[in-house]
Structure formats: C-alpha cells, structure tokens
Structure 1
Amino acid sequence: MTTTNSTRTMRRGRIFPEIQWSPEKIAQWKAELEATHKRCKVVFDRLKPELIETHYNWYIAVDPESGDYVIDQDIEVATQIAHQKHPNSKLHVFRINDTGVCGTI
C-alpha cells in the first residue's frame, strides 16, 4: 500500500503578517496605554469612595479627555455606551471594588 502526501502547505506564523510592529512602536503603544490608564485612574480614585457603597462590583468606563464616565453592572453595556458618547477616545474600564480590577492572579 502506498501513502500519498498532500500538496497542501500549512500556513505558519501570524495570521495577519501586516500587523508586525517594531520594538519602538510597541514601546510607544505601551507608553500611551500607561498614560491613558494614569489619567483615568485619577478620575476613578476620586469617585471610588462614594461609588463603592452604592455600586460595588459594577463597572466604570472612564474617558481620559473629558473625565466623563459611564457606570453599569455589565462591562459590555458600560463600554458600548461610553464608546457611543466618545467614539474617538481611548477609554479605560475599572471594576468598582477595593482594587479596581476584576480578580487576582
């Protein structure tokens, strides 16, 4: 019995090769992300004491440009409403609890 080899070649590597970033681009992206987080965290830290009593474990999506925020029980709803209000802004989402994150690692 003979075996037949397939002539199909497997794709290797990334699915989207055009998204390969240089180390400088990655560093710039991380720096922008950190700056956005810091600006949003100022708003979150200001609001956290009053919101933690009434909206514990809800989500808050903060716009760093205006300081505007959206609160909802569902993370998807909060981000969707925030993106509708501020379509061109990079938002950051926090969980309204003691740490501001969704869980621990």
Structure 2
Amino acid sequence: MDAVDVPAVRAFWTSVLGYQHDPRAFVTDIYDPHRLNPVLFFQRMDASDTERRQHRNRIHVDLFVPYDQVHARIDAAVAAGGRTVTESAPRRTLIDREGNEVDIVTVHQA
C-alpha cells in the first residue's frame, strides 16, 4: 500500500484489522497474528511526487467481524487517525488519512 505517512496509515490498518507490526527493523509490514489473512506491506511515497500520487491505487477492504467486535474496531481505527464516513448498520465505512477505505460489516445477533 503506497503512503506518504506510512506510520499513520499503518497504525490505522493495524487497529482496524487487528493486525500486528512486523518486529524486524526497517520493515513496514503488518500481519494477522493468527497467520490466516494476507500480510500488508506499506511503501513510502514522496509527498512532492504529485503525478505518482495522483495515479496511485486507493484500497477498499470489506471486513466482516463478529457483532460484538464492531464498536471496538471502529473506536480503535478512529483513535489511530481514521475517520468514519458512513455509519448505517450493518455496514460502516471508515477511511485512513490518505483516503483508503474499509467497510466494517457484521450480521446482527439474533
């Protein structure tokens, strides 16, 4: 994932996904501690490279979580610098500081 502010974007995705930072020095990866989901790698972009930034891909992830985890994930993502865009159950959309989106989706408990 390309980012100008790698630490900020990485903090958002670590929080919302429940991932952990790779402990190796100079590695920007985050990973699922259960090793079931893909590793995410963050690549620093130069803020002055406007042409590249204009054409980069934005990320959109649909994240399905148990009902009892929805608010904790949203709160953690917002605390890490994210912003809620829409909040109408069962789908809530949040964005990181660089415009990448995640929809947190759940099925209501019966």
Scaled to the shorter chain, the TM-score interval is under 0.3
Over alpha carbons, which structure has the higher Rg? 1
TM-score in terms of structure 1 length? 0.24
The structure with the greater share of residues assigned to strand is 2
Q: Which has the higher contact order (CA 8 A, sep 6+)?
A: 2
TM-score in terms of structure 2 length? 0.24
The structure with the greater share of residues assigned to helix is 1
